[in-house]
Amino acid sequence: MIDEEMIRDKLYEEFIKPTNQKKNFIGVEIEIPIINLDKKAVDFDVVHKITDKFQKQYPDFQDNGIDYDGNVFAIKNPKTDDIVCYDCSYNNIEFAMGREKDLFSINDRFGEYYSFVKESFEEYNHTLTGMGINPYRKYNEYDPIPSERYLMLYHHLKSYNNYEDIPMHFHEFPEYGMFSSASQVQLDVYRDDLVKTINVFSKIEPIKALLFSNSVLIDENKHVTCFRDALWEYSTHGVNPHNIGMYDVDFKDLNDLQSYLESLNIYCVMRDGAYINFQSMNVLDYFSKDYVCGEIYSNGEYRKMEVKPLINDIKYLRPFKFINLTFRGTVEFRSVCTQPIKDSMSVAAFHLGLKDKLDELDELISNDEVIYHKGYTASELRKLLIQDELPAFVDRDGLCKLSKDIVDLASVGLEERGIGEEIFLKPLYGRIRNHVNPGKNIITLLNNNTNIEDVIEEYGKLGNI
């Protein structure tokens, strides 16, 4: 048994202490579905050929992850810290751009990599597109990348039948990480601003849903513009609702935030380079035990194994909140779907522009009576605003004005940086003016009998600034 004070100290050291330094970098990660235009499963041999071709074109990229079959699933450029990898399976590619001071540098390198990879895939009648759920998911094979982490993760998600005495239902898509894609942003947030950043950004998650939703579960649920939310919430990651989704509380100070960290669940640790899975449990409960019974993957199968909790296991505490604290001292915003490729930088621009406008943003929300102060929490509002039809109590024009006021505030924040990054917000104004988002647009197009192939092509275009 480990003393609770030691656990609290370790949580502080891992999650909060790294924010003591004042920095101002931006990190962007963009996950993108791979599509076989022959309406067959993505050909993984083609994927491996493209990886090899990319390394020949960009020799600074070095192997950063090799699966059990000897295939490279991650490559990294040590000069820029850019990583090109496959996320969960070889059906998704991810461009994790090394941190930068400005969005133009990130956009230039992302555009170059994306163009090369997309053109290379098209030689094999495959392509890439900017959609949060793979529109050809029904054709794909769902095998996790044969690596320690991804085998563990899929095993955890498949274990939902083992949770019999909890008051929640699970969806039947444990492979959802292999067909859903996100656009994530990491910003350096100083410790003194941490609580306010989480509190204020949490309140605008409904507006973000309205602006950025782009995850339609085609053929199964064409009325929800951001089905990704449900895929996380009703999976084994959501056994403890504190591990996913929004913060439905206002933190008073860092002590409150610390208490929230203590309420999270842990579901895996590593020993001797191998992951051990166990049923998701509260982190304090985990450390109160002498041993925990888990499963370890060995020689193609799982076997039971007891593990003794160690204080350094805190580093395996991995919540998937919409707003996450990371071990790097950054705040990660992860509720936004992958966007149409030409609009990719709008996500980072939106968050970056608002980062230093928290007081003004809070005042906007506090004074709003269009959706806020109507008896709904921000979490409930987000659930309502990811539907393709607005609820009756919402004034459509008022909601557009509120959305525009928030984007205007982000634009001011970017203008004050003096670099010109506000140009990346331009797509959001079009969405507000036309009362659409990418997900709603997909639903409308499909209802009007537009071919999904036309949507795939349009959402995959890179475009120009």
Looking at residue 222, what is its pLDDT? 78
Q: Indicate if the pLDDT at residue 1 is higher than 80.
A: no
Locate tokens 């990651």: which residue?
237
Q: Indicate if the pLDDT at residue 465 is higher than 80.
A: no
Distance CA 307, CA 426 (A): 52
Q: What is the crossing angle of helices 396-415 and 426-434, to 10°?
A: 170
* Host domain of residue 109: 25-145+154-256+322-459
Looking at residue 276, what is its pLDDT? 97
Position 311 in a domain: no
Position 314 in a domain: no
Looking at residue 205, what is its pLDDT? 98
User: Which residue type does 323 have?
Assistant: I
Number of domains in the chain: 1
Q: Which whole-number Å values give the CA distances from 392 to 211, 384, 385, 411, 431, in the listed order?
A: 19, 11, 11, 30, 20
Position 232 in a domain: yes
Looking at residue 377, what is its pLDDT? 95
Alpha helices in 123-248 (DSSP H): 148-158, 191-203, 205-212, 228-233
Looking at residue 373, what is its pLDDT? 93
Q: Indicate if the pLDDT at residue 120 is higher than 80.
A: yes
Position 308 in a domain: no
Query: Span 273-293, mean pLDDT?
Result: 96
Closest to 217 (Cα-Cα) out of 134, 113, 300, 139:
134
- Using an 8 Å Cβ cutoff, are 228 and 451 in contact? no
Name the maximum alpha-carbon separation found in the chain. 62
Range of weakest confidence among 130-139, 238-247, 291-300:
291-300
Looking at residue 357, what is its pLDDT? 98
| pLDDT, tens digit (0-9, with 9 covering 90-100), for 30-65 | 999 999 999 999 999 999 999 999 999 999 999 999
Locate tokens 């634009």: which residue?
411
| pLDDT, tens digit (0-9, with 9 covering 90-100), for 72-111 | 999 999 999 999 999 999 999 999 999 999 999 999 999 9
Locate tokens 């475009």: which residue?
463
Looking at residue 219, what is its pLDDT? 84
If 0-12 CB within 10 Å is exposed, 13-18 middle and 19+ buried, where does residue 433 land?
A: exposed
Closest to 420 (Cα-Cα) out of 411, 431, 428:
411
Position 275 in a domain: no
Alpha helices in 302-395 (DSSP H): 346-355, 358-367, 378-385
Closest to 457 (Cα-Cα) out of 345, 346, 341, 344:
341
Position 161 in a domain: yes
Q: Indicate if the pLDDT at residue 428 is higher than 80.
A: yes
Count CB-CB contacts under 10 A for residue 49: 15
Position 51 in a domain: yes
- Using an 8 Å Cβ cutoff, are 83 and 74 in contact? yes
pLDDT-derived band at 165 (thresholds 50, 70, 90) equals confident
Position 445 in a domain: yes
CATH number (domain holding residue 242):
3.30.590.20
Element (H, E) at 403: helix 396-415
Query: What's the predicted TM-score (pTM) here?
Result: 0.97
Distance CA 242, CA 257 (A): 12
pLDDT-derived band at 166 (thresholds 50, 70, 90) equals confident
Looking at residue 464, what is its pLDDT? 79
Q: Which whole-number Å values give the CA distances from 431 to 20, 190, 227, 374, 418, in the listed order?
A: 38, 32, 19, 24, 25
| pLDDT, tens digit (0-9, with 9 covering 90-100), for 348-377 | 999 999 999 999 999 999 999 999 999 999
- Using an 8 Å Cβ cutoff, are 146 and 68 in contact? yes
Strand, coil or helix: 189: coil
| pLDDT, tens digit (0-9, with 9 covering 90-100), for 184-222 | 999 999 999 999 999 999 999 999 999 999 999 998 877
